[in-house]
Amino acid sequence: MLFYLTGKVLISHLRMEGKYFYYLDQVPERKHAHIFFQFEDGGTLVYEDVRKFGTMELLAPDLLDAYFISKKLGPEPKDQDFDLQVFQAALAKSKKPIKSHLLDQTLVAGLGNIYVDEVLWRAQVHPARLSQTLTAEEASAIHDQTIAVLGQAVEKGGSTIRTYTNAFGEDGTMQDFHQVYDRTGQACSRCGTVIEKFQLGGRGTHFCPQCQRRG
């Protein structure tokens, strides 16, 4: 989230549980309120973050482009930005497990641990498959499902797993559409096989051992 201030830009990354609330007048006492922006008209914008994982950076506007370049942030998960050829070429050069590679934000922006598991289930690709071993068809499926899953997640207002809400305090509903995340021990909706979970790159990883073969 970018705030264009007078002479500076404030970059605020909410991570999983950062939230902003705006109060016209009285600001309620809240345990996890950390940052208060007071406006001249009496309103207050409050940043809350239960686990203090969010980050904020203040920099000069002319450094903004360089900032994003240094992060090596990939394209937006949209058809017009996320180029399949570029994606396939990058995968062909990498020995990383596909899940770890999708999570690092360089191929495409926006995939976190929940949605990467959902994308790989939909594309029927095992999370530990090495990037360079994927077929053109598999890469294409991952590309298409990334756009589909993130598009749907935005439409549903995100996934409320713990405390996530939007700025109006409303829960998202994307969790109702999860096929593998947090469904360990339950039947795969496609084939009935029991969903399993293991650690990959330090992340809990959910998958269907029948639909997503190691190959």
Q: Is 15 in the site for DNA (CB under 7 A)?
A: yes
Q: Is 197 in the site for DNA (CB under 7 A)?
A: yes
State the binding string over 123-162 for DNA (x if CB under 7 A, else -). --------------------------------------xx
Size of the site for DNA (CB under 7 A): 29
Which of 88, 100, 145, 146 touches DNA by CB under 7 A? 100
Q: How far is CA 150 from CA 27, 153, 187, 211, in A?
A: 34, 5, 23, 21
Which residues of the chain form beta strands (DSSP E)? 2-4, 9-13, 18-23, 33-38, 44-49, 55-59, 196-200, 203-207
Q: Is 69 in the site for DNA (CB under 7 A)?
A: no
Binders in 71-90 for DNA, by CB under 7 A: 71
Q: Are 131 and 63 in contact (CB under 8 A)?
A: no
d(CA 72, CA 75): 10
Among 126, 75, 118, smallest CA distance to 97 is for 126
Shortest gap between Cβ of 166 and DNA (angstroms)?
Answer: 17
Residue type, 141: A
Indicate the residue among 42 and 78 with the shorter CB distance to DNA.
78
Residues that bind DNA (CB under 7 A): 13, 15-16, 31-32, 50-53, 71, 94-97, 100, 103, 105, 112-114, 161-162, 181, 197, 199, 201-204
